Structure 1
Amino acid sequence: MRRDTVPAVPVNDRLWLYALLALIATAGFFYVNIMAAIVDGLVTGLGFSNPQAGMVGAANIYGASVGNFIAVLLVRRVAWRQTLFILLSLLLLLDLGSMAISFPGMLTAVRALHGLIGGMAVGVAYSVMARTHSPDRAFGMLLLVQFALGGLGVMFLPTLVPDYGARILFLSLAALTALALVALAMIPRLEPARVADAVTAARLSSTARGTAALVLLALFLFQGGNMALGAFVIRLGEHFELARGFIGQALGWATWIGAAGAGLVIVMGARFGRLRPLLVAILLTLAGTAGFFWSANQPIFFIANVGTAITWSFVVPYLFGMLSRLDSSGRLATLGGFVSKLGLASGPMFAGRVLVNDDFHFLIAVAIVALAVSGMAMLAAARRVDREPDA
């Protein structure tokens, strides 16, 4: 079987192509973007406890981490288009099957399998995106699509669960996977990647390996710190006695406004380097996260969600862009997807354990520490990449 070639997009940045690739990648782990709605839906719709709901979410993402790691080993050996068709088709079946499950243990196992297959699909999609003309912009489009669709999910799904049950959550995931299959069919035959064999085969230098390690550490902590709060943000709002209707509207609008961060990356690319934009972003992230201490105040709760959403969608594309710059074969970006999902899975699992006693203040404090350490690692890496962009 002839292997599909990976797109280099040598003439221009075809944003419509980036959008199609972003939709495909999003389908593999859209549950992350609506994790707050899923966790809340499992608690309110199926009667799961906080730890049980957190474990379902964590299993989904840990499964995706394993799948992403498998993809690291396979991306240069498989035909990406055929592989994505098979994986997305399996995801569709698993999402539909999840609608009929109401037992925590069984649902955890099925979602772990879903994550495994979805992680492989995301890894393959990442390898394609990493070898485009402008990876920063490609991953920026990915975050833009995720946040735009995620805004719809967190705004409307929690209000539908009381009437339709938790099955509406998995039906929405199935619908997105079906759209991803359509998007896959719309992608035209792509031009060969402009990657020299020597560059693709060469091992990273010791400096590049150190820089990559910093980026991966930053990615793990950034995703974990954000998702620890993000997965339980609806419960957090209710803990501070905010109305459920207000929480849903606040999260939906915050997610949509947060997509502006990814939009900035698409517009800016690496034009201003990475150190200065990331410095501003991490400071805003810390300020926004600290704002959750005063969540009883509606405007502060809304502003905290908006600020962290903007920086979340802004920082992640730059981290993946740095990994793509360090390794043009796309494997390092795929590895980044694996580490990213480890962080996304660890956040809800840790948060679920902390919230056995509903100690949201301690959870916020831990999230701030994780994000601060992440910021130090990403700034150190950005400084190296800006100095030696071809490292």
Structure 2
Amino acid sequence: MSETPAQPVIEATPALAIDGFWLYLLFALLATAGFFYINIMAAIVDGLITGLDFSNAQAGMVGSANIYGASVGALCAVFVVRRVEWRPALVILFSLLMAIDLASTVIRDPTVLIAVRAVHGLIGGLSVGIAYSVMARLNSPDRAFGVLLVLQFGLGGLGVMYLPLLVPLYGAQILFFVLATLTAIALVSMLAIPKRLCKNRSRAELEAIPASYRKLTVILSLLALFLFQAGNMALAAFIIRLGEHAHLTRDFIGQALGWATWIGAAGAGLVIFMGTRFGRLRPLIAAFLLTFAGTAGFFWSESQPIFMVANVGTAITWSFVVPYLFGMISRLDPTGRLAALGGFVSKCGLASGPLVAGLLLGEDNFDLLIWVAMAALALSSLAAFAAARQVDQLEPAT
């Protein structure tokens, strides 16, 4: 009888003394500063419509330009992360981001704003890619990206709850002032990060995995990430408009989105707590089932309880699934370049969602938008399950 060849195993690298939650939190802030506009995209789209009289399509294009620019920046990061020192690079990039955000406060023309936000996205995407490449080399990338999602959802909850109420009072300019302020805080926070961070995981880990096996897993993970982000952001970018279309009040919508975002951070909190002790496949199956149920709930948005529950459910799974997908990608590359590539793919998905949604909506055809979002999530789940099964075979639960 012939024995079944043993699967290659990715051994964990011991953590350095400084590799812990507080370090994850600091890097989460750096990564968040580069694309916080994504977390408050619903507030930005709505603010441009109500504050500057942009159309649905124009507001969607501004958001998409910002995220597509970030996608190009994230792609550039793949090629530069090993050639630049991350600290001085982020200082320069953050300074440019603040300048562009402040300049955006005086722009009223949709075409000009689209171009300016595309440049902003390019710079922000590059900064996020650099931050991701370092986070991927930490001892537990799943937990590191989990902390990132907790921070983003926590701050995003504040944004979507209060910014729509402030726009009628202070105009759309308040949106860009908030972005500039967060970037300034991130810039200062770099002073608290020690110079000696972490060592790259051993290249022996990578060489232990067959190249063909690794490539297939990465492709599946990236495909799942793209579709998951696109499907979720397609609805999220226009969720305020969906609520108003269902005759919900603006105050209730803001409160519902804010609380859902904060509660949704519990998904990333579960990732921080669980790590990979249960593998990745079983948690992802449970998360996608909740995603489907929550997304389907938006068909009945005229019901306040259902609208609230649907937002809570999808927020929890959003913050839960993304760290696992980034963790899978990071575990297959000791250099951090694949994490930067994951940032590029993620932003492409986030940009594609609002763009497609704006084109599909037409005369507020939200039912069609929900069906398309569910189809994207279904395809994402198939790719995610296949990739998670392979990574679970390659890496023992820890």
Q: TM-score, normalised by structure 1?
A: 0.96
Q: Structure 1 residue 70 and structure 2 residue 115: aligned?
A: no
Q: Structure 1 residue 303 and structure 2 residue 309: aligned?
A: yes
Contact preservation (8 Å) 1:45, 1:162 = yes
Q: Distance in 2 between matches of 1:259 and 1:202?
A: 35
- Rate the CA distance shift 1:345–1:68 in 2: closer, same or farther, 3 A: same
CA RMSD of aligned residues (A): 1.6
Contact preservation (8 Å) 1:8, 1:193 = no
Q: Distance in 2 between matches of 1:199 and 1:78?
A: 24
Gaps of at least 5 residues in structure 1 are 1-6
Gaps of at least 5 residues in structure 2 are 1-12
Q: Distance in 2 between matches of 1:287 and 1:199?
A: 38
Per-residue CA distance 1:205-241 (angstroms, 9 max, x = gap): 1111001000000000000000000000000000000
The aligned residue for residue 190 of structure 1 is 196
Q: Distance in 2 between matches of 1:54 and 1:201?
A: 44
Alignment of 1:228-247 (within 5 A): 228-247=234-253
The aligned residue for residue 31 of structure 1 is 37
- Rate the CA distance shift 1:75–1:194 in 2: closer, same or farther, 3 A: closer
Picking from 178, 181, 187, the partner of 2:184 is 178
Q: Structure 1 residue 119 and structure 2 residue 131: aligned?
A: no
The aligned residue for residue 328 of structure 2 is 322
Q: Structure 1 residue 17 and structure 2 residue 30: aligned?
A: no
Contact preservation (8 Å) 2:138, 2:198 = no
The offset of 1:136, in angstroms, is 0.3
Q: Distance in 2 between matches of 1:192 and 1:180?
A: 20
The aligned residue for residue 359 of structure 1 is 365
The offset of 1:194, in angstroms, is 4.0
The offset of 1:192, in angstroms, is 4.5
The aligned residue for residue 283 of structure 2 is 277
Higher deviation after alignment, 9-18 or 63-72: 9-18
Q: Kindly, what percent of the aligned residue pairs are identical?
A: 67
- Rate the CA distance shift 1:295–1:193 in 2: closer, same or farther, 3 A: same
Contact preservation (8 Å) 1:68, 1:116 = yes
Q: Distance in 2 between matches of 1:250 and 1:182?
A: 32
The aligned residue for residue 369 of structure 1 is 375
Letter in 1 for 2:120: H
- Rate the CA distance shift 1:384–1:233 in 2: closer, same or farther, 3 A: same
Q: Distance in 1 between matches of 2:358 and 2:342?
A: 25
Contact preservation (8 Å) 2:42, 2:160 = yes
The offset of 1:185, in angstroms, is 1.7
Letter in 2 for 1:323: I
Picking from 243, 252, 256, the partner of 1:250 is 256
Q: Structure 1 residue 163 and structure 2 residue 149: aligned?
A: no
The offset of 1:184, in angstroms, is 1.2
Q: Distance in 2 between matches of 1:238 and 1:201?
A: 54
The aligned residue for residue 227 of structure 1 is 233
Higher deviation after alignment, 159-168 or 326-335: 326-335
Contact preservation (8 Å) 1:289, 1:308 = yes
Q: Structure 1 residue 88 and structure 2 residue 90: aligned?
A: no
The aligned residue for residue 288 of structure 1 is 294
- Rate the CA distance shift 1:44–1:35 in 2: closer, same or farther, 3 A: same
Q: TM-score, normalised by structure 2?
A: 0.94
Per-residue CA distance 1:71-126 (angstroms, 9 max, x = gap): 00000111011111111111011111100101100000000000000000000000
The aligned residue for residue 3 of structure 1 is none
